[in-house]
Amino acid sequence: MPELYKYSIKEIENLKDFFLVTYVVIDDLYQEVAPEYIKFRKNAEYSILSDSEIITISIVGELLSIDSEKAWFNFCKKNLADLFPRFCDRTRFNRTRRNLHSIIDEIRKKLSSKLGYTKDPHRIIDSIPIPVCKFGRAVFHKAFRGIATYGKCPSKKETYLGFKAHMLCTLDGYITDFVLTDASKDDRSAVWDLVSSYNSLTIIGDKGYIGEKLALELKQEKEIDLISMKRNKSKTQFPKSFRQLIFKARRRVETSFSQLTEQLNVNKVKAKSLWGLITRLRTKILGHNICYFINKCLNKDISLANIKELIFG
């Protein structure tokens, strides 16, 4: 069990150190969450790479901002023979990775529980666009046809074809929950899915979550307080000191979203199927969470969110 006391991590000096630490944590969690029919499936004993190794390799590739699965696979095969003496073929690697998407998500949930984040009574809610392509090329785009829809990206003030990832984060930026919807969905429509396993939370959202009916239902059914930012023209505003606290908390989450887009390339969709997209999204978020866990093991509580330093020094 990956409680913090079990791990004695003094320093991560290079990429191979990070590989080893990540593998140990992933394999411990895998042994806990993977059902017997997955662990001991037909011909599993003949697998060249274990499930934990495939998940680890995938996570590190995402954290290194490598979009091309082919390029990352070939790099590992050529340069990491001391860590992974034998590699399966790339088709089998990618197929096994996609088949493990539910296990990857269970590992993420178990890690959040071990870190105590699932018991944190405070969350920030927000969404991030996952564009398949820009508006001008949408008519020519074949992947995700009939699944992806048009949505607006407020920060870039543009229309895109794709999806949205809706997330719950703690006040220090750890992502505890997420759901994927098509891009046209209202942010409020994802709230119930995000809070399905929770009661008695205080959730802070931006203006996209304004809605008296939603707030009342959450309070009555799940003892959840949804606090959304007021519109500028609203006659009733929060006190200045409270607004400042909200802005400070939201800046922390914006940093996490920035890491997802700039380091983990969450808004660069290379997958050709919804199955592949979900697998990569789950892998990216697990990678983000693993870095928080490692920083905790390194006693970097003040700088938990400094995930880039673990990879790039």
- Check whether residue 265 and residue 277 sit in a common domain: no
Q: Are residues 163 and 206 in the same domain?
A: yes
Asked if 204 and 243 sit in the same domain, the reply is: yes
Domain boundary among 238, 254, 269: 269
**156/211 same-domain check:** yes
- CA 60, CA 66: separation in Å to the nearest integer? 9
Same domain, yes or no: 160 and 71: no
- Do 140 and 277 belong together in one domain? no
Kindly report the CATH number assigned to the domain that includes residue 147: 3.30.420
Do residues 126 and 254 both lie within one domain? yes
Supply the angle between the helices 90-99 and 51-63 in degrees, to the nearest 10.
90
Residue 51 is part of which domain span?
Answer: 1-114+273-313
End-to-end alpha-carbon separation of the chain, Å?
28
Question: What mean pLDDT comes out for the span 246-251?
Answer: 82
Q: So what's the pLDDT on residue 4? A: 53
In this predicted structure, the answer to whether residue 3 has a pLDDT above a threshold of 90 is: no
pLDDT at 103: 98
Query: Does the pLDDT value for residue 214 go beyond 60?
Result: yes
Strands 122-134, 202-205: pairing kind = parallel
Q: Are residues 310 and 203 in the same domain?
A: no
235: its two tokens: 């006659």
Both 141 and 238 in one domain: the answer is yes
Based on the domain organization, do 246 and 148 belong to the same domain? Answer: yes
State residue 1's pLDDT score. 44
Query: Residue 102 carries which DSSP code?
Result: H
Residue 7 pLDDT class (50, 70, 90 cuts): low
pLDDT at 89 over 70: yes
176 and 256, same structural domain? Answer: yes
Same domain, 248 and 286: no
Work out the widest C-alpha separation in the chain, in whole angstroms: 67
> Which among 123, 232, 249, 100 is positioned nearest to 177, based on CA atoms?
123
Of 5-9, 29-33, 158-162, 217-221, the least confident: 5-9
> What total of structural domains would you count in the chain?
2
